[in-house]
C-alpha cells in the first residue's frame, strides 16, 4: 500500500555506485520536488557504474553526473543523517550502517532487498539484462511505497 511521500529520503547501498544512485535518480524523476532525495554508500570506493547509467538512461533517468559518496563523507559535508525522514537501505550492510548511525535519531529505516548485479553476468547483453532487472525491482518497490509517478 502506497504511503505519503516523505519530505526527505536517503537511499543507501554498499558503494553508492549502482542501486542507490538508480533509486535516487528514479525518485527525483518520478516525484519531482515533492521530496529532498540523496544517496550514499557504506564505502565510497567506486565511481558510478556504466551499466547503471545505461539502463537508467533507457527510462530517461540521467545518472552520468552522479558522484559517489559514503555515509562518512555525507557527515563531513554537513548532511546530517538524522535530518532525513526516511532511509531506504538496499543492501544488508547499508541497513546495518543506517541503523547504527540513526539509533539516537527518530527516523524510519526501511530495507528493500535489491540484488547487487555487479559481476554476476558475462557479456554486455547479459549484464544489461541483469541491470534492467535490478532497475525494474527498484521502480516496482518505489511505486508500491510512494504511489504512481507524479512527474514523467
pLDDT tens across 134-147, in order?
A: 999 999 999 999 99
Residue with cell 534492467: 132
Domain segments of the chain as ranges: 8-146
**What pLDDT was estimated at residue 1?**
60
| Most distant CA pair in the chain, distance | 45
Domain 8-146, what architecture?
A: 3-Layer(aba) Sandwich (3.40)
Cα–Cα distances in angstroms (integers) from residue 98 to residues 87, 130, 138, 149, in the given order: 7, 26, 19, 26
For residue 152, pLDDT beyond 70: no
Amino acid at each position: 500500500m502506497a504511503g505519503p511521500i516523505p519530505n526527505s529520503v536517503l537511499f543507501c547501498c554498499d558503494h553508492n555506485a549502482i542501486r542507490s544512485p538508480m533509486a535516487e535518480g528514479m525518485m527525483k524523476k518520478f516525484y519531482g520536488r515533492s521530496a529532498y532525495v540523496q544517496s550514499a554508500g557504506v564505502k565510497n570506493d567506486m565511481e558510478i557504474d556504466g551499466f547503471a547509467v545505461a539502463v537508467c538512461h533507457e527510462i530517461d533517468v540521467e545518472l552520468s553526473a552522479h558522484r559517489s559518496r559514503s555515509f562518512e563523507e555525507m557527515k563531513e559535508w554537513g548532511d546530517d543523517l538524522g535530518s532525513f525522514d526516511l532511509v531506504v537501505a538496499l543492501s544488508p550492510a547499508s541497513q546495518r550502517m543506517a541503523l547504527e548511525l540513526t539509533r539516537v535519531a527518530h527516523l524510519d529505516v526501511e530495507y528493500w532487498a535489491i540484488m547487487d548485479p555487479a559481476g554476476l553476468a558475462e557479456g554486455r547483453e547479459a549484464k544489461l539484462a541483469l541491470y534492467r532487472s535490478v532497475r525494474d525491482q527498484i521502480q516496482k518497490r518505489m511505486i508500491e511505497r510512494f504511489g504512481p509517478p507524479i512527474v514523467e
